Structure 1
Amino acid sequence: MNEHLKDIFVATGCPSQQQLLDYVQGKLTPEEQHEVEMHLADCELCSEALDGLSAFNDKEKLPALVREMKWDLLKKLHKKYRKSRRPENFNIYIAVIVLAIIFLVLALFWGYHFYTQPK
């Protein structure tokens, strides 16, 4: 994996999520707004994020929607990670273990049955 892309969520020169939300909602000072606009001219990722945020009609609900989308994404990633940790032949391993337990129980039962019978 490209080392530069690996740290996509670390602190960068990009505006914070809150700054982008405030920009869309028109809550920034003129200086802050200018600073964000200067960054948007050079950063394609932030520009696309701003386009996505601007597409929402009800700007006051944006923080809650963004928080909900983050949690949904984290849940999906966690679920995908859990699935990917399972070995490919997981079901075969379970079947072999169950069969071994059944054979062990039968062998113990059979041995006990022959051992306790009168001679």
Structure 2
Amino acid sequence: MNEHFKDIFVTTGCPSQQQLLDYVQGRLTPEEQHEVEMHLADCELCSEALEGLSAIQDKEKIPAMVREMKWDLLKKLHKKYRKSRRPDNYNIYLTVIVLVIICIVLALFWGYHFYTHPK
């Protein structure tokens, strides 16, 4: 996609998405589990993310759900980013272009009409 839409957990000290998923699914070693729990004590964002992951009944579907949500979010951000790159007066330019085209078409029509039907 774009460099503007990197994963928010890459540059932080937070556990990776996979570590949180493994924690919820009970796949971490006791040492890794302890590290995640120590981090959760201080990080509200990760604690809330873990709470949301824990509320999901079918834990095996979590990775697919996360990928789908991430993709949807990236598409929305990309669309918003592309839209925000338009000039501020984009609508004015578009209106002027349409009016010029209409004037040219009318001028051609009148010219053709008066040329083929002289007085």
Do they superpose with TM above 0.5?
yes
Shift of 1:89: 5.5
Which stretches in structure 1 are left out of the alignment for 5+ residues?
1-6
Query: Which residue pairs with 2:68 in the alignment?
Result: 68
**Number of equivalent positions:** 112
Indicate the residue corresponding to 1:57 in structure 2: 57
Question: Once superposed, what is the RMSD of the aligned Cα atoms?
Answer: 2.6
Give 1:77's aligned residue. 77
Distance in 1, matches of 2:63 and 2:112, equals 68
Of structures 1 and 2, the one with the larger relative CO (CA 8 A, separation 6+) is 2
Whether contact under 8 Å (2:15, 2:36) holds in the other structure is: yes
TM-score in terms of structure 2 length: 0.75
CA distance in 1, matches of 2:15, 2:9: 12
- Percent identity over the alignment is 87
Residue equivalent to 1:32:
32
Is the 2:9–2:15 Cα contact (8 Å) retained in structure 1?
Answer: no
Superposition deviation, residue 116 in structure 1: 8.5
TM-score (norm 1): 0.75
